[in-house]
Amino acid sequence: MIPYGRQDIQQSDLDAVLEVLQSDFLTQGPMVPRFEEAVTQACGAAYGVAANSATSALHIACLALGLNDGDWLWTSPVTFVASANCGLYCGAQVDFVDIDPDTYNMCPRALAKKLAKAKVEGRLPKVIVPVHLCGLPCDMAAIQAVSSEYGVRIIEDASHAIGGRYRDQAIGACEFSDITIFSFHPVKIVTTAEGGMATTNDPILAQKMRLFRSHGVTRDPSLMQGESDGPWYYQQVTLGLNYRLTDMQAALGSSQVARLHEYVARRHQIADRYDALLSNLPLTTPVRHSESYSGLHLYVVQLDDPSRRRAVFEGMRAAGIGVNVHYIPVHLQPYYAEMGFAKGDFPNAEAYYAATISLPMFPLLSEEDQDTVVAVLKMELAK
């Protein structure tokens, strides 16, 4: 089976993890801050807060921004459910903004229209979560411009996009957002096995996220009440969670980040080759923008005839090609249907879903295997 994505573990990664295993610290040691520094240097942010998953990072980002009961969070319907669930974890209500049919990302025009309507209705969101789907950056300048008119805070869900750039600035620099979130799941661009990180330029938000990450407990005297009982002393100053990343995972992540730009460049080589090989087939290949550089976590195609999607998908799987679909729109999930969402609510997202297939995309994908993917796809489309 040729998978749609997979990790690349090299000897340097094994050595980094082994070094931690042979050290005094398996968790809460020096590697997590080192990993945070490596990521912030790569993306140009001031602060990084590592967590045990991107889902956890989204949650603590929402908590740090004060999302609470009675608030609203808006995100894209075309994303993994975590981008929306993070709002529910905080007791907020969730809604969606339809996608741009060309980029598959949150549409700034749809956002502007929806915000204007929400202002009149008295239901403006506190937080919006644009998602850089497949690694392609959203139009963050436009999203930030319209959001700032209404005082809405922004969390970029860049789970697919580390190593990408928007307007010649690295994703994660937070020029147009309060916080950016990365994922380090094994199929993502770099991995810590499971893990995530929030980046920000706001020291107060970074401090809050660190507290929420670790039980709300601190040893920082400036955050405590009263006098310390001694050098062992700590206080719980808020209600937090256990979302910490281990030193073993952080060591793997630090080793992987050293190859970040190499990985993304290789993904672009594969995407360029796909673009050429698929140019005459009845499908649409991913859009490129001159003002952005995609992380290319995924390579998704849209079939001209959506009614053929299931047959093509099943035919490719039967031939050993691990195609996938990213994603089923969140508002169509049964859990969200119980909240009142229904088919037809976000037509662009639903049209995208009906026609999309994710082809194998990972740095170790060989030209021979890529040729096999394309040959099988051509055969299935011709049936």
Domains and CATH numbers, the chain: 11-257 (3.40.640.10), 261-382 (3.90.1150.10)
Q: What pLDDT, on the 0 to 100 scale, is given for residue 237?
A: 96
Nearest to 159 by CA among 210, 194, 211, 126: 194
Q: In angstroms, how far is the first alpha carbon of the chain from the final one?
A: 22
Mean pLDDT per 10-residue segment, the chain (383 residues): 97 98 95 98 98 98 98 98 98 98 98 98 98 98 98 98 96 98 97 98 98 96 92 95 98 98 98 98 94 96 98 98 98 98 98 98 98 98 95
DSSP 80: -
CA distance 92 to 75: 13
Within 10 A of 31 (CB to CB), how many other CB atoms are there?
27
Whether omega before 327 lies within 30 degrees of 0, making that bond cis, reads yes
Q: What pLDDT, on the 0 to 100 scale, is given for residue 290?
A: 85
DSSP 245: P
Say if CB 75 and CB 131 are below 8 A apart: yes
Q: How far is CA 302 from CA 356, 357, 362, in A?
A: 5, 7, 19
Which residues, including other chains, have CB under 8 Å from residue 345's CB and lie 6 or more apart?
77, 96, 331
Helix count and strand count (H, E) for the chain: 13, 15
DSSP state letters, 290-314 = TTEE---S-EEEEES-GGGHHHHHH
CA distance 359 to 105: 19
Q: What pLDDT, on the 0 to 100 scale, is given for residue 289?
A: 86
Q: What pLDDT, on the 0 to 100 scale, is given for residue 183?
A: 98
CA distance 337 to 350: 14
